[in-house]
Amino acid sequence: MNTNKKTKYLGQQLISFMFIFMLILFLVTFLITRQLAYKVMRSNAEESISNLTETNAQMIDKNLSNIMTIAQELRTVINDDLYTPKQLKRHIHHLLIDNPRLISVCLAYDKPSTKRTQTFYLENQQIRSIPAEDDDYLYKDWFQIPWLSLRPWWSDPWFDNLGSKERVCSYSLPLTIKGKHQGIIRLDTPMESLHRIVKPIRVKKTGFAFMIASNGMIVAHPRDSLAMNYSAFDFANRYGDQELRQICKNAVSGQSGFERFRFEKPGPDVWIAYRPLPSNHWSLLVEVPNSEVFADLHSLSIITTIAFVLAFLIFSGTIWYRTSALNQPLSELVDAIKLAGEGELQSGPEIDSNTYEIQVIAENFEKMKSSLTSHINNLQQVTEEKNRIMAEVAFASIIQRNLIPKNDDASKLPANLKAFGILEPAGAIGGDLYDYFLKDDKHFLFAIADVAGKGVAAAMTMTMMTTLLRTVSSDKDKPEDILHILNTFLVENNPKSDFVTMGLGIIDLESGSCVFSNAGHTPIYQLKAAGGFSKFATTHSTALGFFDNIKITSDVLQLAPGDKILVFTDGVSEAVDRHDKLFGTDGLEKVLNKEAGSSPEETVQAVLAAVGEFADTQKSHDDTTILVVEFLKPLNC
């Protein structure tokens, strides 16, 4: 690795770090600034567009209000009976001439036979009237709704095929003469006049306005093909969008709003402002593309990004220049560190730098090399000592395993017995023990024990117990007598005061009688040849090594041909899973129920496998020992 490459690598690291820092700073600043700008621009856009919508809505409503005023005045003239029919016709003629947005007037009576129902309109500046040929008008909306509600009403657009031959919107109000409800006055204004107001409205560059009736029908739109042919709800159904449907509902219900709506791709993303027309409960809507509403925000984002890139390039050049000056002494220091990593601690270059930090690093590096040399020497001594201790522990483990019976040595067993045991210490050596041997020609002794400790001390205690057990059992016939001697020995010769739990039994090979004592140990099981088992959980004394002169008793169980005895240490029953649940005797007994008729070895392996499958190795740290003895038949049979 050459110097230039090292210098480039250091510069890249610093620039990368600076880039990440600046990128995070830029993103945070950019997002906060953009969010604030977005709120301000949205507020301004909402205010300006809403005001424009309101202004145009008032302009349209003013035209409608003028029609309403004329209708009120005409009703007053008729109610007061001021004119003769000719004079009333002349008055209506003047109204039509003076008000271009008024296209026709209809006087419709409840009983056509009583008074003549007529529609008045202009033709070549002359008034024309069309009498009602039948009473179908009584069932039209412009007549029925105000007649039944007794209130004025603006109709939705409809085509007047009798009078003006145009699409009109009608204002109807009840006609009352001398306090009696007589009929309806209807004034018609052409939809084309409203369309001419709405069509030129422009917001931003491409924003436009349109108007919908109280049922959602589009009554005025810059695209002529949409007016009176589609409803606003048709577009909501086409896109299947509930958001657009809600906007339409709000508009037709007379609410005001300014909301964003995103059409399905490749449709536009737009803002919609809507305002009601107080006169007839229609609504004026303005649609503006989102890109035009926030065009300034987009420009601000581009300018901010360009400023960030320029700032990054300036800072990068500055850091690159400075790292080049720092690289020379750092490269020499790196070479010295590489030599130290290869084990060369005695030599190294002289680091000369006018940078305080580099000089401090160089001085302390020399101190570190000296300390590291001393540490290596100490570590070598510690390693040698550790290897010696591990060798001794391994030797102790071999000795411990040699003290327990070999399962493959059948010569140590009488002809009418089978036995199989296993001991798995938690560490290199453990504190568990099992043993079995012929006490004499007619008696077979088996034992299992657990020292309440671990490590070398527990293994030494168990080694002493194994040796003493074989020594004292030769002239003692009862388990309790043997346990008394072991207890006395532990009380007098156990400096660590480790106590020992032990189960010890003696089988009469001729009768199958088994005398056993349990000194604080786990239960003993008798597995019946025909299936099932008996559990003996009673202890006959406390654990050995606590007190001198303890009282120890025993029990007798009778073995039939094919019966087995199973003993174990708490490494089986106290195994826990990852939920801290104990394997317990319940788990053991589930295994035993499945092992009827199995050999001692099969039984031991089945229990060991079940414990291994159940236990969490991170939580179970105890020695595991299992011994099974099978009584085949009485001796000499």
Tokens of 311: 């700032």
Cis peptide before 276 (omega within 30 of 0): no
pLDDT of residue 254: 86
Residue 566: closest CA among 593, 539, 592: 592
Task: State how far the Cα of 362 lies from the Cα of 418, in Å rounded to an integer.
Answer: 74
The predicted pLDDT at position 313 comes to 79
Interatomic CA distance for residues 110 and 518, integer angstroms: 116
With residues binned 3-state (H G I as helix, E B as strand, rest as coil), the percentages for the chain, rounded to 5, are 45, 25, 30
pLDDT beneath 70, residues of the chain: 1-12, 15, 112-114, 240, 263-267, 324-329, 332, 340-358, 389-397, 399-400, 428, 495-497, 619-620, 637
- Tell me how far apart the alpha carbons of residues 553 and 517 are, in angstroms, rounded to a whole number: 6
Give Cβ neighbours of residue 169 (< 8 Å, ≥ 6 apart). 154, 155, 156, 157, 158, 188, 189, 191, 194, 219, 280
Residues 383 and 375 sit within 8 Å (Cβ to Cβ): no
Distance CA 79, CA 82 (A): 8
pLDDT digits (tens, 9 = 90+) for 189-210: 888 888 888 888 888 888 889 8
In angstroms, the CA 567 to CA 585 distance is: 12
Q: Give me 534's structure tokens.
A: 């008996």
Task: Give counts: helices (H), strands (E), the chain.
Answer: 14, 23
Strands of the sheet with 443-451, listed across from one edge: 432-440, 443-451, 500-508, 513-519, 555-558
Whole-model pTM: value is 0.47
pLDDT at 481: 93
Q: Which two tokens stand for residue 227?
A: 């007016």
Query: What separation in angstroms does the CA of 259 have from each of 43, 241, 275, 287, 408?
Result: 12, 14, 12, 10, 88
What is the pLDDT, as a whole number, of residue 581? Answer: 92
Confidence at residue 327, expressed as pLDDT on a 0 to 100 scale = 67
Report the candidate in 130, 100, 131, 127 with the shortest Cα–Cα distance to residue 115: 131
Distance (Å, rounded) from C-alpha 70 to C-alpha 77?
Answer: 11
375: left (phi over 0), alpha (psi -120 to 50) or beta: alpha
Average pLDDT over all residues of the chain: 83
d(CA 406, CA 278): 106
pLDDT score, position 9: 57
pLDDT of residue 11: 58
